[in-house]
Amino acid sequence: MSNGLAGKTPAIPKRSTDGDNGRIDPGTLQAHVGTRLTLEAVQVLEETLQRGLISVDHLSRIFTFLARAKSLPDPLDAATARHFAMWLEVVGHDRFFPIITATGRLSNLMPLFVQNNFVSLTGSGVRIADVGTGQPPYTTVELCTHLPYARVHGFDLYSAGFLLEGPGGQYAVFDTDGALSAVHAGDVTLLHHMVLRWPETAKALAETFARLRRRSDGAPVIGEGWTLVPDPVRQMINTAGDPLLQFHVVSSGNFGLAPLEPRTLDAIWSFNCLLHYPPEARRRALAKMARVCRDGGIVFEGYTSPSGAHAVFQTWLRKGMRLTPVEFGWSLQNLRCPLWPLRHDDPQLDILAPILAQAKGQLATIPGKGDFNSINAEYKQALLAALGPWGSSARFATDAIVVHDVGRDPAPFGIEPIAVDEDDSSVHR
């Protein structure tokens, strides 16, 4: 997730165990999950809980959300249980920095931002911020290719000193002093293996980094199946050839976006950053961000899966001293399996869950429309008709993304405007 401003993830508290072996009664586990479990799924979840990185309550929150969205399998099998358990353990590990990002991850959403209905971003003199760039800042550089005349500011907790890329799609980020900062892998099984075996992972990566660094003269070095890229941000800026691109390293929670002055930005882009904060802290962060957005400017923010195929997002419009919700959007991949809240209740997913439940419930009654595998014009028409109270505001922005005009019919969404906070102090969880 390109979410550097979220900072290092604290470990989820270990659960208490009953008895000598820490086992949980399958009936109790099933009550927390909210659906039937295969015996293999019980074993997967029990083994996960015994490792102590996540709690029964955390599992319960995830599966309760899936049930609200009519997306909880019945029965829950081992493969599905393992998928959720691995991701939860990764993001719950105290040595994991949530910087998951990849080239092209947000490409499907970028045209909606560039061609938005509220503020022109394509001319000269436009100023934009990417809040929580992730490392490396692939999305920030991609914004520059879409908006070549805009001055783009990227904000994150740190700038990578070195990028170490592996043969299996895994990578590690080291700071300018050569200390290991973060790891990532595109495959959750590999990432889970790396994070749960952190001492071995850290030792092996540090040793590979040291060997390749000794061979580097400031240029990328290839060896042992790995590539070491010194100062990857500078390399990306040079490749993009964009003198208007600037990066800022800020402290955790600095959503006031200092050193930018109030009311100087036309738009703010922020994905996979605010989801790491509880709802009230997210609203405070948006209020702080809005201070640097001019009247009539927008904040475009949301959450995606690591591949980018699953997405949920909102557009906010600054009107005077208020940040007003004007659009809510989501990708069709959520009908197959939705995004789910990582650590806290998620206000965007709280809106999405009943929309998905409504659509899936209605489409299931139409022959051939409940499998979500044939997205054609007929299916789109059926989907919009199935959205019930959310249908009158909906349109297909692309073949894969539905956008709702919240200003046209705000009642079903329940999103309250936010008062702009022009104090640039930090937001704390």
Can you tell me the distance from the alpha carbon of 289 to that of 419, in angstroms, rounded to the nearest whole number? 11
Q: Indicate the residue among 92, 127, 145 that finishes a domain.
A: 92
Q: Tell me: pLDDT of 4 over 50.
A: no
Q: What is the pLDDT of residue 423?
A: 77
303-322 residue pLDDT tens: 999 889 999 999 999 999 99
pLDDT confidence bin for 9, thresholds 50/70/90: very low
User: Does pLDDT of 140 surpass 60?
Assistant: yes
Q: Are residues 368 and 272 in the same domain?
A: yes
pLDDT band for position 129 (cuts 50, 70, 90): very high
The mean-pLDDT minimum among 98-107, 154-163, 372-381 falls in 98-107
Q: Is residue 104 part of a domain?
A: no
Please say whether the dihedral angle defined by the alpha carbons of residues 257, 260, 262 and 263, taken in this order, is positive or negative.
negative
Name the pTM for this structure.
0.89
Q: What is the total count of domains within the chain? A: 3
pLDDT in tens, 199-221: 899 999 999 999 999 998 888 99
Closest-CA residue to 184 (of 3, 429, 338): 3
The answer on 191 and 144 residing in a single domain is: no
Report if residue 237 sits inside a domain: no
Q: Grade residue 264 by pLDDT with cuts at 50, 70 and 90.
A: very high
Is 267 domain-assigned? yes
Residue 345 reports pLDDT greater than 80: yes
pLDDT the model gives residue 22: 45
Mean pLDDT of the chain: 86
Judgement on whether residues 190 and 295 belong to the same structural domain of the protein: no
Instruction: Tell whether 196 and 178 lie within a shared domain.
Output: yes
Same domain, 352 and 385: yes
In tens, the pLDDT along 16-38 reads: 344 334 456 667 777 778 788 89
The segment with the largest mean pLDDT, out of 86-90, 165-169, 353-357, is: 353-357
Residue 8 has pLDDT above 80, yes or no: no
Say yes or no: 28 and 114 in one domain.
no
| pLDDT value of position 371 | 66
**Residue of higher predicted confidence among 122 and 375:** 122
Range 355-366 average pLDDT: 91
The answer to whether residue 5 scores a pLDDT higher than 70 is no
In the numeric block, the tokens 């008062």 are attached to 419
Residue 175 pLDDT exceeds 90:
no
Please check whether residues 256 and 223 belong to one and the same domain: no
Percent of the chain at pLDDT > 90 equals: 55
**Distance between CA atoms of 8 and 182, rounded to whole angstroms?**
9
- Tell me whether residue 261 is exposed, middle or buried, using C-beta atoms within 10 angstroms of its C-beta: 0 to 12, 13 to 18, 19 or more: exposed
Q: Is the peptide bond before 389 cis (omega within 30 degrees of 0)?
A: no
pLDDT for residue 419 is more than 90: yes
Neighbour count for residue 43 (Cβ, 10 Å): 15
66: exposed, middle or buried (Cβ count in 10 Å: 0-12, 13-18, 19+): buried
Residue 10: pLDDT above 50? no
Give DSSP secondary structure letters for 381-393.
HHHHHHTGGGTTT
| Predicted pLDDT at 117 | 95
Question: For position 198, what pLDDT does the model report?
Answer: 87
Mean pLDDT of all residues in 338-358 = 92
Assigned domain for 421 exists: no
Q: Could you tell me if 321 and 368 lie in one domain?
A: yes
pLDDT surpassing 50 at residue 231: yes
On whether the CB atoms of residues 229 and 235 are closer than 8 A, the answer is yes
In a domain, 363, yes or no: yes
Q: Give me the phi and psi of 205, to 5 degrees please.
A: -65, -40
Q: What per-residue confidence (pLDDT) applies to 26?
A: 64
Q: Note whether residue 420 is domain-resident.
A: no
Q: pLDDT confidence of 96, banded at 50, 70, 90?
A: low
37 membership: H or E segment, kind and range = none
Mean pLDDT across 82-96: 81
Q: What is the pLDDT of residue 316?
A: 98
Query: Would you place residue 417 in the very low, low, confident or very high pLDDT band (cuts 50, 70, 90)?
Result: very high
Q: Are residues 177 and 316 in the same domain?
A: no
Q: Is residue 428 part of a domain?
A: no
Based on the fold, state whether residues 202 and 74 are members of the same structural domain: no
Q: By residue range, what is the domain housing residue 376?
A: 110-158+244-405
pLDDT at 373 over 80: no
* Pair 392, 372 in one domain: yes
When pLDDT is cut at 50, 70 and 90, the band that residue 330 belongs to is very high
Rg (CA), the chain: 22
CATH number at residue 306: 3.40.50
User: Omega into 26 within 30° of 0, i.e. cis?
Assistant: no
Residue range 381-388: average pLDDT? 94
- Does residue 98 lie within any of the structural domains? no
pLDDT of residue 86: 92
Are 287 and 215 in the same domain? no
Of 107, 366, 109, 130, which is closest to residue 233 (Cα–Cα)?
130
- Please report the pLDDT score of residue 23 as a whole number: 55
